[in-house]
Amino acid sequence: MSEPYLGQIQMFGFNFPPRGWAQCDGQTLPISQNSALFSLLGTIYGGDGRTTFQLPDLRGRAPEHQGQGPGLPNAPIGGRNGAVTHQLTVQQLPSHSHNFRVDCNTDEGSTDNPQGAYPGPSNEDVYSPSKDDKMGGMTTDATGNGSAFDIRGPRLTVNFCIALQGIFPSRS
């Protein structure tokens, strides 16, 4: 492998950083021992900027190119966007309906508690304001428990590392 650029981030298939590299796990480094790398990264990823700076933290994150694509929000370098989980609200659900069937019993009803029971025949306007009409407003029980769910796509975990030594990149 040729000499990397200082600050270059690369994926590796093994679980340790090669010599001259560090894992992209947000660790804090002293500026005094890494002044060239600090001149490139500054405090984009954290640190106090006087004595320390931090490396990018890609644990549990997907990398994203900086800038603004057509129709997309701006993604500045070092920005942390997105979420691991999401909890839907009723307002986020599309309008929809559920068909359901009401079984009836030919015997006369014998309970005032409808849970687990069937409606019996009636000459009264029980389910609608008029006879021989469609059933009045009915709703099905709500479903779900309001828990957040994972919204990340399928993934394969690899080792992201950043070069602590290498060629200082020149601007083109």
Q: What's the domain range around 17? A: 1-61+156-172
pLDDT at position 36 is: 98
**pLDDT computed for residue 81 by the predictor:** 85
48 domain-assigned: yes
Is residue 53 domain-resident?
yes
Does the predicted model carry a pTM greater than 0.85? no
Query: What is the per-residue pLDDT for 123?
Result: 62
Give the per-residue pLDDT at 132. Answer: 57
- Domain assignment present for 51: yes
The whole-angstrom separation of Cα 119 and Cα 159 is 62
32 is a domain residue? yes
Say what the pLDDT of residue 3 is: 96
Beta bridge partners of 23: 161
Instruction: Evaluate whether residue 104 is within a structural domain.
Output: no
pLDDT, residue 1, reads: 66
pLDDT of residue 98: 75
* Residue 165 domain flag: yes
Amino acid (1-letter code) at residue 147: S
Closest CA to 65 of 81, 80, 54, 76: 76
Classify residue 66: in a domain, yes or no.
no
Total structural domains in the chain? Answer: 1
**What is residue 151's predicted lDDT score, i.e. its pLDDT?**
82
- In this prediction, the residues of the chain whose per-residue pLDDT falls under 50 are none
In a domain, 37, yes or no: yes
**CATH number of the domain that 14 lies in?**
3.90.1340
> What type of residue is 166?
G
